Structure 1
C-alpha cells in the first residue's frame, strides 16, 4: 500500500512539474506580448500554489517593475531572498531593482554573485543580468553585452531572447548596426520570433526611416497575429497621418492586449487625432471626474493639446501645468517638454523657462533623429527670441552629434556665432569651412568679415590677409558670379593701404584690380583720379595729400 501511495505521489510530482512550467511559460508569453497585467496575474496564481517557485517570483518582480510598482517588486524580492538567499535568478532580479535605485555597486555585486553561483552557465540568469543592465537607466550596457555574448558560446545555446537582449544593449549604446545584426541572429534561431522583427523596426523608427520600420512592424504581425506591440507601433505611426488606419490598428491592438486604464486613454486620444477636439476634452474630463487622483495624468495633456488646436492658449497652458504637476518624473516624454516650450513662448516673459524646457526635451530624447530635430527647433526658437548666443551653442551641439553634418550645418553654426558677436569663434568655424569646402566662397567671405569685426578701425590689419585671400578666391572660382565679393575686398584693401598705411601706390594697385573685374566701376575711377592728382603746394613750398 505504501509503495502504491509513494508511486502516486511520485507521479503527481512528476506530472505537476511540466504543468507548472507551462504556467510559467504562459506568464512569460504574456510578458513577451507586453501584457504585464496578465503576466502578473499568472505568476501570482503560480506563487499562490507554490510560494517558493523561483522562476515565477523573478518574473512576477519583472512584471511589477513594468507596471511601475517598484515598491511591490522590491518587497517581493526581499521576501524571496530571505528564504532563498542563494538563488542566482533572484539575486539578478534584486540587482536590477537596485540599479533603478542608483545602487550600482550593490547591483554589480549581486550580478557577480549570481554568475559565480551558477558558474556562468545558466542562460536564464545571464539573460536576467543583461535585461537589468539594458533596461535600467543606471545599467551598464557594455557589461550586459560582455556577459550575454559569452552566453552564446555555451554548449547547446539556443536562446533568441539572449540575442534580443544583446541588440537592446547595443541600442542603448546608440549602435544601431550592431543592434540590427543581433536581432537578425535571434531570427536565425527562430524565424517566427516577432519580437526580433519588431526590434529591428524600432531601430529604424529612431532614424525616421519609414520605408524600413513600417514593413518590419507589418512583418512582425504576419509572424504572430497576437503580437500586440507591433499593432501599437503602427497605430502610433498613423496617429497623425491617417486616422482610419490608426483606428484600425488600435482596434486590432485592443483585441490582443490587456484591458487597462492606459487602453482607455489611447482610445480617448483617437478623438484628438480625428480632430474632434471638443469630444476629446469632454471625454478626458469625464475620466478625470470619475477617477480623481487615480486618473492617468496624460488626460490633462490631451486636454491641453486639444485646447491648443482650438487656439485657446490660456486653457492649454492651464491643463499642461496640471499635467506637469501630476505626472511622475519617469512618465514624461521629450515631446512633453517641447510642447511646453512652444506653449510658453506664446506668453511674453517666459523665454528662459521655454528654453529650459527645450533643454530637458533634448536631454531626455535618446533617439538620434528626433533629438536632432529638437535641437533644430530649439535653435530656431532661440533665434526668434533674439538669443543668438544660445542659438550658436545649440547649433554647435547639433553639428557635433550629427553623423554626417553638411556645409549648411557648419555655415549656420558659424553665422550664428557671428550674429552673437563671437567673432573669434566665428572666424575659427569658417576656417574649418574653408578646409572642408575650399571651392565655396562662404568660408573666405565670413572669415574676412569676422576678422574685420575684430578690428573695426583697421589699425591692426587683422582682416587684410583674409580680404586678399577672398579677392583671389572670388576671381579663381567665378569672377562673374563673385564679382561683388572681389570688388568689396579690393576696396577694403584700398582703404587700409591709403588710410592706415599711407601707401598711395599700393592703394592705387588695388583700385586697378577693382577696374579689372569691374571696368565700369565709377567709384574706383573717381578715387583713382583723386589719388593721382598732384598734391597742392602749400605757401611754404610744402605739399599736402588730398587723400585723408
Structure 2
C-alpha cells in the first residue's frame, strides 16, 4: 500500500511538473504572439491579449512590462507606471519593469534615476540573455529626448554576447539610423533580415533608409518587396503613405496624385492594425499633414463617438472646423483644449486659434475688422511661433490675402511674424510684402501720423531682400520710398541712385521701357527734392535728368523755376 502511494505521489509530482512546464510554454507562446501584434502595430489587440495573460497568470512580469510599453507609446504615462509597478511584484521576469520605469525617468530628464533602474534590470540577467539590452536601448531611443549614442553603447554589450541575434541587429539598425549613420544602419538591417527572413520589419527599414535619402521611387520598390513577402504587414503601408506624402512635397506637379495615394495607403494601414482611439489619432495627425480637412472632420467626429471627453479630440475638431469654414466651432473647440492646464499645447494649437480669431474679426469679404479680436488672434499666432519658429513658414500667404485687399496694417502684423523665421521657403517674398504693407499703411499721411518704428521695420525688410537678392532692382525703389517717409534724405538718395545704376547697367532696351522711365522720373524728381535741402546744384542736375526723359514734366519745371 505504501509502495502504491509512493508511485501515485511520484506520478502526481510528474504530472504537476509537466502541467507547469506546459503552462510556461503556453504563456511564452502567448507573449511571443503579443510581440508579433506589437510589431505589427496592432496595439489594441495586444493590450487585450496582455490583459488576458495578466488575468490568467499574474506572475508573468513581462506581460505587465509590455502593457506598460503600449501605454507609454500612447502617452498614457500614469497607466504605464501603474502597469510597471504591478509588474515589479510578479514572480517571473519582474525586472523588465525596472526598464519601463527607467524610461519614465528619461521622460523627466532624470538620467541618473533611469540608469540606476537599467542597472538593476541588468543585474538580474542570465549569461546568454540579450532582451533586456534591447529594451534598455529602446528606452533611450523611444522617448522625447532620444540618446542614440547611449543606445548604441548598450547594444554593443548585447552584440558582444550575441553577435548574430536578429533582434539585436534590428535594434542596432534603429540606433544607427537615429544617429544618422546610414551605412551602418543599412548593414545592420540587412544582416538582421539575412539572419531571420521572417523579420519583416528589418526588410521594411531598408526602404525607410531610402525614403530618408529622398530616393522615393526606390523606397516604394523596396516596400513592394516587403508586401510580396507579407501582404498583411500593416506598418509597410504606413511607410508607403509617408513616402508618398514626402514625394508629393518634392514633386509639385504630382502633388494631388501622390497625396491621394498616400491617403489610400494610410487607410490600408488602419484596416490592418486597428481603429482604436489611439490609432484614429495617429490617422488624424497624418490627415493634418496631408491637408485633408474634410476627412479630418469625419475622423474627429468618429473619435468623439468613441470617447467624448478625450481632450485631444478638441484639437482635431478645431483644426478641421477652421479649415472647413466653421469658425465659431473652431474657436470653441480650440479654447476648450488650450484652456485645460492638463493638456500639452503644441504650436499649431495657438496658430489655428489665432487664425480663427482673426477670421472671426473680419466679415465674409475679409474687409471689416474687429481690432480687439484681430489683435488677440495675432497674439495667439505669436505664441505658436515662440513655441516652434518653423510654424511661421506659410503664414505669408495669410498676410498676402489681407495685403491684396489693401488691409495693409493688418497684413503687416501677420507678415512680420512670417518673416521672423529665416528658414521659410517664402522668406524673401514675405519680406517684400511686409515692406510694401508698412509703406502703403503710412503713405500719404502727414509726418506726425506716420508710424516711424514700423517704417524702420519696412526698411529692414527691404534690406533682407537686397542682401539675399541684390538684383531685385524694384526693392531699391521701395527702400528709397520708405526712407523718404522716414525723412531720411541721405538714405533715400542712396537707394534711388542704386536703382538708377543697376537699371542703367541693363542697357538701352531696358531704359526704353515705359515702366522704367516712370520709375526713373520718380527717382530723379525725389532725389532733386531731397538735394534741394542741402545741395542746390545737385537738385538742379537731377531735375534736368527728369526733363531729359520727359521735357514737359510739370514737377521738374516748377522745381527748377523755384530754385533759380
Cα deviation, 1:81-108, whole Å, max 9, x if unaligned, reads 4679997643331121234456455335
Match 2:499 to one of 443, 466, 470: 470
- The 5 Å alignment of 1:169-248 reads 169=178, 178=180, 184-185=186-187, 187-190=189-192, 195=201, 221-231=227-237
Distance in 1 between residues matched to 2:304 and 2:109, nearest whole Å: 35
Q: Secondary structure at the match of 1:397?
A: coil
Does 2:104 match 1:97? yes
The CA deviation at 1:520 is 4.3
CA separation of 1:274 and 1:214: change in aligned 2, threshold 3 A: farther
CA contact under 8 A between 2:71 and 2:80: conserved in structure 1? yes
The CA deviation at 1:150 is 4.8
Structure 1 equivalent of residue 359 of structure 2: 346
Unaligned runs of 5+ in 1: 171-177, 531-545
Match 1:65 to one of 52, 61, 72: 72
Structure 1 equivalent of residue 553 of structure 2: 522
Match 1:398 to one of 421, 446, 449: 421
CA separation of 1:387 and 1:466: change in aligned 2, threshold 3 A: same
Does 2:429 match 1:408? yes
Cα deviation, 1:154-204, whole Å, max 9, x if unaligned, reads 46054354245436745xxxxxxx386676455423557654677788899
Does 2:498 match 1:491? no
Distance in 1 between residues matched to 2:543 and 2:220, nearest whole Å: 63
Does 2:358 match 1:329? no
- Tell me how many residue pairs correspond in the alignment: 506
- The 5 Å alignment of 1:501-516 reads 501-504=534-537, 506-515=538-547
TM-score (norm. length: structure 2): 0.66
Cα deviation, 1:259-309, whole Å, max 9, x if unaligned, reads 635678999999xx897999x69x959975xx7856786389559947985
Unaligned runs of 5+ in 2: 1-6, 246-254, 362-371, 442-450
Structure 2 equivalent of residue 454 of structure 1: 486
CA contact under 8 A between 2:337 and 2:343: conserved in structure 1? no
Distance in 2 between residues matched to 1:494 and 1:268, nearest whole Å: 61
The CA deviation at 1:485 is 3.9
CA separation of 1:334 and 1:229: change in aligned 2, threshold 3 A: farther
Distance in 1 between residues matched to 2:318 and 2:392, nearest whole Å: 28
Does 2:301 match 1:257? no
TM-score (norm. length: structure 1): 0.68
The CA deviation at 1:70 is 2.5
Aligned CA RMSD, in angstroms, stands at: 5.5
CA contact under 8 A between 2:106 and 2:143: conserved in structure 1? yes
Cα deviation, 1:376-399, whole Å, max 9, x if unaligned, reads 456558866834564344223332
- The 5 Å alignment of 1:32-431 reads 32-48=39-55, 51-81=58-88, 89-101=96-108, 103=110, 106-107=113-114, 109-111=116-118, 124-137=131-144, 139-141=145-147, 143-144=149-150, 147=153, 150=156, 154=160, 156=163, 158=166, 159-163=168-172, 165-166=174-175, 169=178, 178=180, 184-185=186-187, 187-190=189-192, 195=201, 221-231=227-237, 252-253=268-269, 255-258=271-274, 260=276, 284=301, 288=305, 298=313, 305=320, 309=324, 313-314=327-328, 317-318=331-332, 329-330=343-344, 338-348=351-361, 349-359=372-382, 371=391, 373=393, 375-376=395-396, 379=399, 386-387=409-410, 390-399=413-422, 401-402=423-424, 407-408=428-429, 411-412=432-433, 421-431=453-463
